[in-house]
Homo-oligomer: A and B are copies of this chain.
């Protein structure tokens, strides 16, 4: 096998096949065809082209359903009682505590926002924790409390959950996967296919704050903790716009890839161009 061919161009990361680990048990794994010498790289999770390829070339052909193909923040399901929205995200952020937030708060707010930008009223969240052996119970308690507080503040309950423990060195303290469900009120339809020529683009705040706060907290920037993440639940903000009769055509919650990725995706989806005046994009001076 040629192990040199890489799908990623990230520098300085030594890559060996995952199955070459000494503790790996290959009895059943040997059934897996390793004809393509391609491995997951960090860039596959970055929200850019490789993430897109992962979705287009692996997940959609294998699992493809209509709602997966639409690549929205939430899937919308029609059933006799109306429309249910469902969204899921794993949170693997490092560090877990950063200026303005933490992984637990973020997991609740992120899920609420994914539902809200789909026009849904969030009704419940599930939380699955993958804990690494050796994770301090005191920090787990603190994170659970942060999650409880976020649920309480937003009024969206955590209704079910799961905890799994993985061997030391097979995790990173804790990962949280939250899934949210919401109800889309009858007659409400918000979606990227409603975008029309002449639509204006509104941004709910300055861009890049969260990403820069995380980078600063990681110690990767020569600045301290002055930049604070703007992680916050937006369902009430969105609700008040909708109730005020503002005809919102589409909404998105930009995550990995940021504003430019979101606008690119929206533009491609409707085959329209978007004009952005650089000076009109709100960015905090520090960011």
Contacts and interface: CB of A to CB of B under 8 A. Distances in A.
A137 B29 contact: no
A145 B18 contact: no
A141 B39 CA distance: 11
* Identical copies of this chain, number: 2
A136 interface: yes
A88 B35 CA distance: 34
15 contacts: A18-B136, A29-B96, A29-B97, A40-B132, A43-B165, A44-B131, A44-B163, A59-B161, A62-B144, A63-B148, A64-B148, A75-B126, A88-B160, A91-B164, A177-B177
A171 B170 contact: yes
A9 interface: no
A16 interface: yes
A169 interface: yes
A164 to B, nearest CB: 5
Interface in A143-163: 144-145, 147-148, 151, 157-163
Instruction: Give 5 closest A-B pairs by Cβ, nearest first.
Output: A81-B81, A45-B165, A62-B144, A179-B179, A28-B97
A63 B18 contact: no
A157 B65 contact: yes
Interface residues of A, number: 108
Contacts of A51: 163
B67 A160 contact: yes
Given A32-B139, A54-B140, 11 more contacts: A18-B135, A28-B96, A32-B136, A36-B138, A59-B161, A75-B124, A86-B179, A89-B128, A126-B179, A169-B169, A171-B171
Interface string A159-191: 111111111111111010101010100000000
A67 B15 contact: no
A268 to B, nearest CB: 20
A129 B88 CA distance: 10
A41 interface: yes
A42 B165 contact: yes
B167 A90 contact: no
A75 B138 contact: no
A17 interface: yes
Nearest to A98: B28
A39 B158 CA distance: 24
Contacts of A175: 130, 166, 175
B173 A18 contact: yes
B81 A42 contact: no
A283 to B, nearest CB: 24
A237 interface: no
